[in-house]
């Protein structure tokens, strides 16, 4: 059993929630962060109900102040973060020709800059303890591109670049930095897709199903484990074979 502290952004739903539950089951004490604190409290009750330890904190990745406050609170009230899962992300889709500057900025600020600033908050503590795991949730579209998602693709591809740069900077301190790239997963984000679109997606997936949040969480728990201590700067594709 680990007694290490893991911090999961975007923990109120979908992949983040599944990661928080799976890390808790693996013995981590989990800091749950998101904008939706009511949902976080529900999750916290669920985790405590089965004997897990957790701490809920409000976090808006688009705000550097919010990021700083969230990590300061977690460090002082719950413990030094040793595993960071940068999962929170948003989409504002639109064709490049008509994409508004605000829709570009908010997606880049949240998904890329927010995840980077969150990582900055934990580096010192990890360096001091000479152990750490940063796991960035990216996307298959960071590797393939996707029409109508120039901002989202750029934010997630940028996060792969950050993953590799940090992996090189931090390796000597026994801190690994990896990314998990989900394919199409059953979440609120994909629930809005039409049946036609879903059918088209499934045609492109050799395993012939959409992923489940638990599929992504399993990869995250592995990368957070001692068994993954010799893996860094890697992008782990969890996509049913849709991109190889």
The superfamily (CATH) of domain 5-184+214-237 is NAD(P)-binding Rossmann-like Domain (3.40.50.720)
Rounded-to-integer distance, Cα 112 and Cα 42, Å = 28
- pLDDT band of 1, cuts 50, 70, 90: very low
230 labelled catalytic: no
Cβ contacts of 56 within 8 Å, gap of 6 or more: 31, 32, 33, 37, 40, 41, 43, 44
The whole-angstrom separation of Cα 117 and Cα 121 is: 6
Tell me the CA distances in angstroms from 226 to 47, 142, 187, 221, one per residue in order: 23, 27, 29, 10
Q: Phi and psi of 87, rounded to 5°? A: -110, -30
Instruction: Report the pLDDT averaged over residues 170-190.
Output: 94
pLDDT of residue 215: 98
pTM value is 0.97
3-state secondary structure of 9: strand
Catalytic residue among 83, 152, 159, 211: 152
Using one digit for the tens of pLDDT, what is the confidence trace for 41-75? 999 999 999 999 999 999 999 999 999 999 999 99
**Stretch 129-154: mean pLDDT, rounded?**
97
Element (H, E) at 120: helix 115-129
Q: Is the pLDDT of residue 36 over 50?
A: yes
| Bridge partners of residue 133, in order along the sequence | 83, 176
What average pLDDT is seen over the chain? 96
Alpha-carbon Rg for the chain, nearest whole angstrom, is 17
């Amino acid at each position: 059993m680990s007694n290490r502290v893991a911090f999961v952004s975007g923990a109120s739903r979908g992949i983040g929630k599944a990661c928080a539950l799976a890390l808790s089951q693996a013995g981590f004490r989990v800091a749950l962060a998101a904008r939706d604190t009511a949902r976080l409290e529900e999750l916290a009750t669920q985790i405590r109900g089965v004997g897990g330890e957790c701490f809920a904190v409000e976090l808006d990745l688009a705000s550097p102040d919010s990021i700083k406050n969230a990590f300061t609170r977690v460090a002082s009230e719950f413990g030094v973060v040793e595993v960071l899962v940068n999962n929170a992300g948003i989409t504002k889709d639109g064709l490049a020709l008509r994409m508004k500057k605000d829709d570009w900025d908010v997606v880049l600020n949240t998904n890329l800059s927010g995840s980077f600033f969150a990582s900055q908050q934990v580096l010192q503590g990890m360096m001091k303890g000479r152990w750490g795991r940063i796991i960035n949730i990216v996307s298959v579209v960071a590797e393939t591109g996707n029409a109508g998602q120039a901002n989202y693709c750029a934010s997630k591809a940028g996060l792969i670049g950050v993953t590799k740069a940090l992996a090189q900077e931090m390796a000597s301190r026994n801190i690994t930095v990896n990314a998990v790239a989900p394919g199409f997963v059953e979440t609120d984000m994909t629930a809005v897709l039409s049946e036609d679109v879903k059918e088209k997606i499934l045609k492109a997936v050799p395993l012939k199903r959409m992923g489940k949040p638990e599929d992504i969480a399993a990869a995250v728990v592995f990368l957070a484990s001692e068994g993954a201590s010799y893996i860094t700067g890697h992008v782990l594709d969890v996509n049913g074979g849709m991109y190889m």
